[in-house]
Every structure is written in C-alpha cells, then in structure tokens.
Amino acid sequence: MAQHPHVQHTREANTSLMSPAELEAYKKEHRIGPDGKARPWWKDVVCYQVWPRSFRDSGTTAQERVSADEAQDDEQERTDRDLKGRHGDIRGVIEKLDHIQSLGVDVIWLCPVYANGHKDAGYDITDYSAIDPDFGTMADMDELIAQTKKRGMRIIIDLVVSHTSDKHAWFEESRKDKTNPKADWYIWADPKRDAEGDFIVRSKPGEPIRYMEPNNWRAALIHDTAWTWCEERQQFYLHCFLKCQPDLNWETEACRKAIYATAIEFWLKKGIDGFRVDTSNRMSKDMTFTDAEVTTDFSEFQDFSAHHLNGPRIHEYIQEMRRVAMDPYGKGMHDVVFMVGELPGTKPDELLKYMMQDRAEYDASFDFDMCELGGNDHPDLVDKHEVLNPGQGFLLPEMKDCIAKTQSLISSTGGEAWTTSFAENHDQVRSIRRWVTDHPDYWSRACKLMCILECTLSGSLFIFQGQEIGMHNMPSHFGPSDFRDIDAQKWCARPKYATPDGDPYMAQLAIDDVLNVGRDNTRTPMQWDDSANAGFTAHPDGPWMPLNDNYREINVAKQNGDRDSPLNFWRKMIKYRARHKELFILGTFKCLDRDNERLFTFVKETWNGYKALVLLNFSAERLPFTFPREALRETGEVDKWSRKVTRKPLVLIGNYSPFEQEAGALQGWEARVYLM
C-alpha cells in the first residue's frame, strides 16, 4: 500500500545505530515527539479561513463584469449583475496579513480565486491555473504567497475537482459530440428507457420533445433533478450541484492527469503548501445510475447520497492523487503537502479509511455531523426555518456525541488518524448564533466559551474570518434583495414559498429559512472598524453585500483596544493551546457527562498521564458542579489541622475573571479550564 514518504522513512530508520547528535538531528528532521511518534507540521497548526469576496476590498479590481443580457441567466448571482469592484480581492488579503498573523495563525486557507463562472461564489471553476480578474492577477497571488511565507505562515487553497463550470474549456469540448477527445471527461447518460428499450418522453403531444432523466437523482442547492439535457450530444450530463457545475468523470485516466497537472502541480510549483479538498468524497459515483431510494414526497427527485458519497473507487483515486501529484513535492516532515478533506455523511469506520497515515490519503478531515444537528442540511425532513439551534431545543448530548466521534479518531488510533476542530466556515452560520447565544448580556462570554471549546479539542484548529471578533448572523430585517447566495435565491423562489397568489406568510417563511441557516450568514463583509463601510471598502456605493448593522460595536479596531475582547481572548487562548499542545492538540478526549443537557464536562489527557478538565455551561443559568477526583492537583500545601497535603484545582483560563468565579458553580455561559 502507498505511504507518505515521511511515514515510510520514519519506520525504516534504525535509530539504535545513531549517535546522540545524529538521533537528535533525526528527531528534529522527522518531527519526532516525546512520545516517540512522528508529528507532521500540519498536526499542531492554527488555520485561518479567508473567504476573499467578503474579507477586504483593496479598491484595485473595480470593473464591469457581465452584460445586462448575460445577467438574465437563471443561475446568475446578484454579485455579478449589478456590483462593480465592491468586493474583496487578493490584495485586500495581503493588506490584512498582519492581523491574521497577530492571532497566532500558522496557515491561511484561501477560498477559490480561480477563474470562474460567477454562479457559485468561485466554486464553478473555468480555469484551474488562472486567477479571476474579480480577485486580481497572478502577480497578486504570487505576492500573497511570498508575503505569507515571509511572515512564517503557510498557505493552502481549495481543490475543487469533483466538478467544473460548464464554461470550462474541457466541458465545452466534451459537450460537442460523443467522439471528441474529451467526450468521456464528464458523466453523460442516455434518457431513461421503457420496457421496449425506447427513450421515455416526458413532453405532451405538440410540445418540444423532452426526455425523461436517466434516474431520480436530485441535485443539491437547486432541489431539482441532477441531470441536464445537452442538445448537441442528445444526452444528459450529471451535476451534483448547480446545472452549471457538471461533474468530472474520474473513471477517465486522461481527465485525472489533466486535473493533477492544472489544479495541483501548477500550484505546488508556486509554493502552495496544501489543499482543502471540496466535496472530497464525491469523485467516485455509482456508474450504473440506479434510482435512489424514495425518502420524500415533496419531489419526484430523491437524495442520492448513497450513490455518490464514498463511492467504489474513491480511495483508489485519492491515493493516486497523493502519490502522483503531491508526494513528489514533499520534502520530509516539514514540507509534506497537507490535504484536508470535506467528508460529509461518513461513518467512523469509513472515516478511518481516509485518515490513517499509512493509507496515504487525507491528512485530516472536516466532519459535518455537528453542523447537521437539529435537522440542518436535511431539507427532505426539516424546513430550514425549523432547524433547531441549541437555545431552541436540540439536546447538548447530541453535540457531545458528534465531538466524541471526531475526537475518537485520534484516541482510537494513537494519533495515526487526525481530525479538525472548527465551528464556522463559508457554508455554515455564525457559531455565536448556532451553538451558544448572541444575547447582548452574554455575547462576549459566549464567544469565549466557543473559543475555549475549539482550542481544547485535539486536531488542527480552523477559524473562519470574523469568528475571532464574534460576528453575528444577518440581522432579521434582511430579505431577498440582500441575499447573495444562489442557494438562498433559489430557496426563496421555490413554488412552495413563491406562491402564485403571493402569500406573504409563505414568502416570509422562506426568508426565515435563510436567516436561520443560510450560507450568507457567514458571508457578510468583514467588520474592520466603525468607519463608513466598516473599513471593508472605500467604494462610494458601499460593499457588494449589506453590512451587519452592528459593525460599529463589533469590529477589529475596537476589540484590538479592549484587553477583555473576544479578539484578544482568542490570541491568549491560542497561546495556551500551543504552550500545552500535548494536552490540547495531541491529547485524548473523554466526555464525563454525556447526558447533561446544560453542562459539558470533558477531560483531556497526554500520552504520559497529565490531564486537564474543561467545564462549559451551555445555558444562562447558574450551574453547581463537583470536581471528579482526577480534577484535583497536588499543590504541596499542608493543611494545618490534618497535616495532610491538600489537593486544589488550578484554573488555567476562564471567560470570567478570577474575582467573578464562584467555587463549585458556573455562572451563565461560563467556561473554565483546570489543570489536574
């Protein structure tokens, strides 16, 4: 089986024959920890995700992007209809590198800035090896890489290779006919046939002929068929997402080689340190095109996750991608190419197949079970306005189970498998609303509670832009004219909500859906200061998307000057995380109160027995607690009456000051970490 070069070298080296100096040099080169195990550079990093369109507008990319006619496309985002240079760009990221570095960040994850079709926020790519003019130039990208490295940080980028844009040159050739050189680079299928073998026709007599789709698979985002008819080929093509995002056919070797060359090797040669792999378990499909199980009656088209997640050849493809396109660019433990995969809908046993180091697939994973709590991302079962957040009723024990699942990847394998700690990204909502509370009386403490939770969980830590200052979801007065995400626009246009009689109640339900769990919640412009446009852009017409109303109270400049702000708490907690990395980054996890619906108590333990206790009050109520016996630490003090050494807890950090902390009880939304 294929292995990372660093795994193979570590196992083959005979350290018993080395001199002390040689052994020390070997341990340094291969990052051997005190437990004797190899620790690649990406295990203990803090990663900061930049969604560039909303990060910072440098004012250098203003331009008209589409004509009025082109803007009528039914999948065209509002961002490309009427906005001119009012969005973030690469030079804006360069301008704010010092802020990112000040947090203690090791790695920047830059979301797509590739040339794209402007229909899904950069995830509909037209050229993997080009920069979209909206974001700047290749020279800007080169400078960003250089400036990031100059500050001692690394940079990873999105690898979006399950699909492209329908405007990509590969697809434009593939769709021409069934015999061109790229005819099989995408997934094509004939219409469904009847018992006699004839194509089934959907259209009525007198209407243009419209054939029945190959099966009942339903695409995400558009909540309709996953197949679109191509007149030139007289076939349907598959798209798991928007119809402008045709799925690549990984069964075709020439297609895979082209992906490796243009989407991976091109960027590694430029100095990129790794990739966050988008929809990373969707490259292998059920090519028999069997109908999906019928699980809902709101549509004839059904969720087909069982036919495109964790498919029959997925591990073969990932191992080949690693071996052919990445390993040649790794230079030992310090420079191995980092690959973190997005793995929704994947059970623990399957996760291990992706994560074990000796399999040479992904180095770490994003698991979304916690994100899906309360019915999120399950439109077959729960409308978006009905998705429950913790304060609305879903049980804290379920959240603990999700965390235990990902943490067990590390503890059950001795660290051979790895995970991530994250609470926000560009596809989710703000953690302050989803997991805790944005009530003004508790908002700051709730931000710090989430910070403590994330920083004490093992794995590579990921922070999303704005999370460090506790940015909120969109305000309640936002509506369809303020939404920019195509998923939000299409959701509001669904017949269920956009009724023929214009029912205002149903229209408001659709808006409530988006405000509750829509992706635009984390995509509002970054709040840098309290000046006009929050310091995001100097454009006289304001930013590409409306700002949150609270930018004058919640912004980077204000929190920089406040020692007790969430921003400065993140900086402090990241330092504690690094100082105690054997506990918080590499330690094992044990939940002590799975069934408690308000208090979350867990223990972290190092390989050699040192422990920390983490207490988190997920409520506004005062909660008494008692210490587990192992939560007590020898202080060396002698009780003057019993003459015995006392054992007292030692608080490492909390979100209340020592003067506000109460012995034996946690106040509303309080968090504490004890060294045992």
Catalytic residues: 278, 342
Are the CB atoms for 301 and 236 separated by under 8 Å? Answer: no
Q: Measure the CA–CA gap between 84 and 78, rounded to whole angstroms.
A: 11
Is the dihedral angle over the CA atoms 515, 520, 522, 527 positive or is it negative? negative
Taking every pair of Cα atoms in the chain, the longest distance, rounded to a whole number of angstroms, is 100
Closest Cα partner for 357 from 3, 673, 1? 3
Considering just the CA atoms, what is the radius of gyration of the chain in Å?
26
Is the dihedral angle over the CA atoms 592, 588, 103, 658 positive or is it negative? positive
Residue with tokens 């405000």, as numbered in its chain = 515
Are the CB atoms for 422 and 383 separated by under 8 Å? Answer: no
Closest Cα partner for 218 from 308, 117, 343, 341? 308
Q: Measure the CA–CA gap between 148 and 393, rounded to whole angstroms.
A: 43
Phi, psi angles (nearest 5°) of residue 267: -80, -30
Are the CB atoms for 534 and 528 separated by under 8 Å? Answer: yes
Q: Measure the CA–CA gap between 654 and 666, rounded to whole angstroms.
A: 10
Query: For 46-63, b where at least 16 C-beta lie within 10 A, e where not — what string?
Result: bbbbbbbbbbbbbeebee
Torsion angle in degrees (nearest 10) through CA of 283, 284, 287, 293: -90
DSSP for 139-196? Answer: HHHHHHHHHHHHTT-EEEEEE--SB--TTSHHHHHHTT-SSSTTTTSB-EEPPPB-TT
What is the three-state SS of 612-654?
EEEEEECCCCCEECCCCHHHCEEEEEECCCCCCEEEECEEEEE
The DSSP bridge partners found for residue 653 are: 673
Q: How many residues does the chain have?
A: 676
Task: Give me 39's structure tokens.
Answer: 């620790």
